Amino acid sequence: MYISSIINEELLWRYVPWIMEKDQALAVRIFSESSLDEATEKLQPDYILEYFSKFPIALQKYLEFLVFQKKLDKEKYHSRLAIFYLDQVQNLKKNPKSSKEAIDNARVSLQSMLKFSSLYNASLLLSKIPEESGLDLETAMLYGRLEHHEKALKIYVHELADFDGAVAYCEFYSKGHDRSYRRKLFYLLLSVYLQSGVKQTNDMVVAAVSLLNSHIQDFDPVKVMEIIPEEWSVRLISPFLIGLSRDSLHTSRNTKLRKNLMRSENIKMKKGYISYTTKPVTITEETYCRVCRRPFNDSNIARYPNNIITHVHCARHKTLCPVTGQLFSVNDGDI
240: left (phi over 0), alpha (psi -120 to 50) or beta: alpha
Percent of the chain whose predicted confidence (pLDDT) is above 70? 82
What's this model's pTM, rounded to 2 decimal places? Answer: 0.69
Mean pLDDT to the nearest integer, 268-294: 72
Q: How far apart are the first and last CA of the chain?
A: 89
**According to the model, what pLDDT value does residue 151 have?**
97
* 84 vs 270 pLDDT, higher one: 84
Q: How confident is the model at residue 324 (pLDDT cuts 50, 70, 90)?
A: confident
Q: What is the pLDDT of residues 11-50, one digit of tens each?
A: 778 878 888 888 888 888 888 877 655 557 778 889 999 9
In 3D space, the residue among 152, 211, 151 whose CA is nearest the CA of residue 183 turns out to be 211
Q: What is the chain's mean pLDDT, rounded?
A: 84
Query: What are the backbone angles phi and psi of residue 325, rounded to the nearest 5°?
Result: 80, 10
Q: Find out whether 260 and 233 touch, Cβ atoms under 8 Å.
A: no
Buried-state track 303-327, b at ≥16 Cβ within 10 A, e below 16 = bbbeebbbbeebbeeeeebbeeeee
User: According to the per-residue pLDDT averaged within each range, which of 4-8, 188-192, 264-268, 292-296 is highest?
Assistant: 188-192
Q: What is the pLDDT of residues 63-116, one digit of tens each?
A: 999 999 999 999 999 999 999 999 999 999 999 999 999 999 999 999 999 999
- As a whole number, mean pLDDT of residues 280-300 equals 82
Q: Which domains does the chain have, with CATH numbers?
A: 280-329 (3.30.40)
